[in-house]
Structure 1
């Protein structure tokens, strides 16, 4: 999951202790990700991947793909036109906020680079 949202989410997951710096899921993170619709998150591979637009790491690999797929399936992110890009929906903002990830704030800090791209 790339783009501004992907980068901000990756940084937040590490800062909150849901993953380590290499995006290995902690027991606490596994509980969060299960609530978000990603079962067995600790068994999925993940790796830091530099986002070309942000020049910061986002979460690549199976875990990043699983989270991105869950966010689209849950209706938390909606496609922007015919592109691979997406942006948080009102439902997504509410769900992320329930986990204390302030997606609205993160996105407003970077209005020139909204959205997420599936990786």
Structure 2
């Protein structure tokens, strides 16, 4: 086995480090204390695991005075984690709270910096069915109708294409077992939906809530009925 693969596998096999990485899948930065709380471990233990993840370049850190804030290093790291989740055995639901949390995550969530879950997949499928996106291998191409749609929605397609990352790639959704839109375009779509208040982030989770105005907009513009 490639030693780099073995090292990454070893890192991900630890439950505490896995919990930390899953907490960072919301694409935001988190202080060490919050990550320790979310992983249900002591701050000193969290620091140990965070240093291991930093060494492997799976996460990055920002220092602001005495405080350190962590995030996933890039979208590629998030994509690997999402794909591993798609083949991982399902966890047993042990309480009503766990059931509600899992249901919320399956319905709509952030996958690093783009929208995933049932809603994310349905949005992607709708864009394809309406001829705005065309799936080519493991990427999406924007059609002329799609360019008009994204422009009207306030997304500068050229600006997104010029970013130093994949423009519109397929990301395998672990709960839906289908692809959703990722890359610079997927991120821009998430940002605009948040700005328009079609969707809102839920506290202490990467689950996303669809607002009433969002439901109306999805019906009008994407022919989606949620």
On whether the aligned pair clears a TM of 0.5, the verdict is yes
Q: Please, which runs of 5 or more residues in structure 1 have no aligned partner?
A: 105-119
Bigger radius of gyration among the two: 2
Q: Please, which runs of 5 or more residues in structure 2 have no aligned partner?
A: 1-114, 162-166
Query: TM-score of the superposition, structure 2-length normalised?
Result: 0.43
Query: TM-score of the superposition, structure 1-length normalised?
Result: 0.78
- Which is strand-richer, 1 or 2? 2
Question: Is the CA contact 1:49–1:59 (under 8 Å) kept in the aligned structure 2?
Answer: yes
TM alignment of 1:27-46, pairs within 5 A: 27-40=144-157, 44=161, 45-46=167-168
Deviation of residue 37 (structure 1)?
Answer: 2.4
- Which is helix-richer, 1 or 2? 2
Deviation of residue 87 (structure 1)?
Answer: 2.1
- Choose the corresponding residue for 1:47, options 166, 169, 172: 169
Deviation of residue 83 (structure 1)?
Answer: 1.4
- Choose the corresponding residue for 1:12, options 120, 126, 130: 126
Distance in 2 (CA, whole Å) between partners of 1:65 and 1:39 is 12
Q: How many pairs does the alignment contain?
A: 104
Distance in 1 (CA, whole Å) between partners of 2:204 and 2:132 is 32
Greater length-normalized contact order (CA 8 Å, ≥ 6 residues apart)? 1
Deviation of residue 36 (structure 1)?
Answer: 2.1
